[in-house]
Amino acid sequence: MGQHQRENLAPLHLHIPEPKFRPGDKADFSDIIVPEVDAIARPDEHVAPADIHALAYGLVRVLDDENAATGSWNPGLSADTLRLMLRKMLTLRAFDDRMFRAQRQGKTSFYMKSFGEEATSVATTMALHRDDMCFPSYRQQGILITRDYPLVDMMNQIYSNRGDRLKGRQLPIMYSAKDYGFFSISGNLTTQYPQAVGWAMASASRADTRIAAVWCGDGSTAEGDFHSALTFAAVYNAPVIFQVVNNQWAISSFSGFAGSERTTFAAKAIGYGIAGLRVDGNDVLAVYAAMQWAANRARTNNGPTLIEYFTYRGEGHSTSDDPNAYRAAEEYALWPLGDPVERLKAHLIATGEWTHEQHEALVATLSDEVKAKQKEAEQNGILGHGLHHPFETMFEDVFEEMPAHLKEQCAQMLEEQHDKFGPEWEAR
């Protein structure tokens, strides 16, 4: 394309988004506006989306600066429920630490921690019904932990060992547990969004009572599947809850490349005519309240909701990532919304329902429990220490009955393996 200039017009400039801070900079989040609790009161769950546009630009909060639960969004959870929520988040944190260490020890090839984002999987799951269907991204292992999926089975999948229910077919951390309402994780970004909408539409068409909830990161909102899903959900009034975990970063790209410089991610709901909420993602009570509100809307045929959790990824994107290469040091420590675990702990202590001593004892207990589960899982083998599943299993579980051409290919493979390795291979 040739260059065309007119003397009476200034030349155009292409805008390239740039994060506020880079390595070596001092992070300063003073420009982030944290509104007062109940700056926008909780609306009726049957409200028309057009009447709550302000909620897509505000910030739903329950815990105030003194760690008290106040305001109309306060879900009024019991102390026992809050202690359970704290236990689940601490279990997730202990699990992440052990599996991160296992990757560094060469026991698995890959892992992703959810440090700083625990509320977005634990509190949300606790607000759902046990049989609601979850369509996670790859940082929502807290869903399985909250639903009491066996930790050993999660570790078996990470190690791709003999105990792996998925028989080594999925990359580490890409779990699948239909019996726990946990849809298979895909490494392709945002494929779960249209899948969740399709599931929700099917539930509605069958006059079921179950709803769907789906998660993605801020960067994934730039994918076409995200927008296709919102279109279908709006047209068919699907009982689905869209969740965007805005943790400020994709891999090494900040959220501006997905559009955060222009508006909030919750505001994307407005163009589709669906309800949008922007929530303090490090306030477990606010996260729970928002999910409960959206779930009640979906169950009463009031349609989908898009929730943005405003949070921060405390550590690297994965074990393959070094955040020190692209963001300022100590950003998480300076994040104005704090840490979800520490905030819930502080709330329970402030209300006389918890102590520092109890907290430290629970952290130690959970660490020991997760360590014991790790030893149990490693009895089934670790990644890279030999073949843990027979070769022929790669042909299984695709069709209800294996077609003739796959049987033929499987037989040919086994014959070639026998010819190459002999009886020792058959006795594996």
* Residue 422, pLDDT above cutoff 80: no
| 384 part of a folded domain | no
Does the pLDDT value for residue 116 go beyond 80? Answer: yes
Mean pLDDT lowest for which of 233-237, 335-339, 380-384?
Answer: 380-384
Lowest pLDDT segment from 2-11, 15-24, 132-141, 148-157 = 2-11
425 has a pLDDT exceeding 80 = no
- Contact criterion met (CB below 8 Å) for 156 and 163: yes
pLDDT band, very low/low/confident/very high, at 337 (cuts 50, 70, 90)? very high
Q: Does one domain contain both 366 and 402?
A: no
- CA–CA separation, 143 vs 118, rounded Å? 10
**What φ, ψ does residue 217 adopt, rounded to 5°?**
-90, 170
Residue 315 lies in a domain: yes
Domain of 268, CATH number, reads 3.40.50.970
The two structure tokens encoding residue 330: 């100590």
Cα atoms in the Cβ-side hemisphere of radius 13 Å centred on 316: 13
Same domain flag for 205 and 270: yes
* Residues 303 and 395 grouped into a single domain: no
Residues 79 and 164 in one domain: yes
35, 59 contact by CB (below 8 A): yes
pLDDT score of 427 more than 70? no
Burial of 350 (0-12, 13-18, 19+ CB in 10 A): middle
Query: pLDDT, tens digit, for every residue of 242-288?
Result: 999 999 998 888 999 999 999 999 999 999 999 999 999 999 999 99
pLDDT for the residue numbered 426: 59
Helices (DSSP H) in 188-305: which residue ranges?
192-205, 224-236, 268-272, 284-299
The mean-pLDDT minimum among 51-65, 107-121, 320-334 falls in 320-334
Structural domain contains residue 39? no
Same domain flag for 181 and 314: yes
In terms of domains, do 400 and 373 share one?
Answer: no
pTM: 0.95
Q: Specify if 138 maps to a domain.
A: yes
Residue 408's pLDDT is 96
363 and 409 housed in the same domain: no
| Cα(139)–Cα(148) distance, integer angstroms | 17
The domain in which residue 347 lies consists of 49-378
Per-residue confidence (pLDDT) for residue 22, from 0 to 100: 93
pLDDT of res. 117: 98
20's tokens: 């506020």
Q: Out of 19-23, 128-132, 230-234, 372-376, which region has the weakest mean confidence (pLDDT)? A: 19-23
pLDDT band at 291 (very low <50, low <70, confident <90, very high): very high
Q: Is residue 38 part of a domain?
A: no
Say if CB 251 and CB 258 are below 8 A apart.
no
Same domain as 395, residue 268: no
Q: Looking at the structure, tell me whether residues 415 and 363 fall in a common domain.
A: no
Burial class (CB in 10 A: 0-12, 13-18, 19+), 99: buried
In a shared domain, residues 258 and 407: no
Asked whether residue 96 falls in the same domain as residue 140, the answer is: yes
Q: How confident is the model at residue 98 (pLDDT cuts 50, 70, 90)?
A: very high
> What rounded mean pLDDT belongs to the chain?
95
Q: Is the confidence at residue 205, as pLDDT, over 60?
A: yes
CA distances, 235 to each of 150, 197, 239, 308 (Å): 38, 11, 12, 21
> Tokens 């229910």 appear where?
165
Q: Report if residue 31 sits inside a domain.
A: no
Task: Give the total number of structural domains in the chain.
Answer: 2
pLDDT at 428 (0 to 100)? 55
Please check whether residue 2 lies inside any domain of the structure.
no
Mean pLDDT of 306-333: 94
Mean pLDDT score, 225-245: 98
| 277 and 408 belong to one structural domain | no
Q: Is residue 249 part of a domain?
A: yes
Per-residue pLDDT tens over the stretch 368-410: 999 999 999 999 999 888 778 888 898 998 899 999 999 999 9
Secondary structure (DSSP) of 143-168: HHHHTT--HHHHHHHHHT-TT-TTTT
